[in-house]
Amino acid sequence: MPDTGTLAKPTGTASQKAEHFDVLIVGAGISGIGSAYHLQQQCPDKSFVILETLETFGGTWHTHRYPGIRSDSDLYTFGYRFKPWTGDPIASADKILKYMEEVIEDNDLERHIRYGHKIVSADWSKDDALWTV
């Protein structure tokens, strides 16, 4: 039976080698980082990569720069179950980014993140049962 994993192929010259991953996570925001943590814990035999358009993690908490950006929900609920939020219940973007940075560092997730990668297409091969991204 063919492998049903995901193939992430860098754009650029034809000489670049395609890389195979079982799972592709799109974005290094709150959800992407949480997904990577759980995948690493629950499926340690699966390979994965996080593709992030920006040059840093954080998603919404990095891109929204208007004055006073902060959570609009309490972070005791919004935070990760595996790393409970210990600060004030309503936090600023910089505190949320620091929290995410700790999660990434504590769980060795940085090595899975590819910054500066924009997904422009995804093609399914029925014959190979693979995606080329």
**21 strand-pairing partners:** 6
Residue 72 has pLDDT above 90, yes or no: no
Q: Could you give the percent of the chain with pLDDT greater than 70?
A: 79
Alpha-carbon distance values, 21 to 30, 44, 72, 85, 95 (Å): 21, 13, 35, 31, 32
Residue 62 has pLDDT above 80, yes or no: no
Domain residue ranges of the chain, discontinuous segments joined by +: 21-132
Q: pLDDT tens digit string along 9-33?
A: 454 544 568 899 999 999 999 999 9
Alpha-carbon distance values, 8 to 48, 57, 82, 96, 114 (Å): 10, 19, 29, 29, 11
pLDDT score, position 93: 82
pLDDT score, position 105: 97
Q: Which residues contact 22 (CB under 8 A, 6 or more apart)?
A: 5, 6, 43, 46, 47, 48
Residue 59 has pLDDT above 60, yes or no: yes
| Mean pLDDT (whole number) for 51-72 | 74
| Mean pLDDT (whole number) for 86-111 | 92
pLDDT score, position 91: 83
Which CATH entry fits the domain spanning 21-132: 2.20.28.270, 3.30.70.260, 3.30.750.24, 3.50.50.60? 3.50.50.60
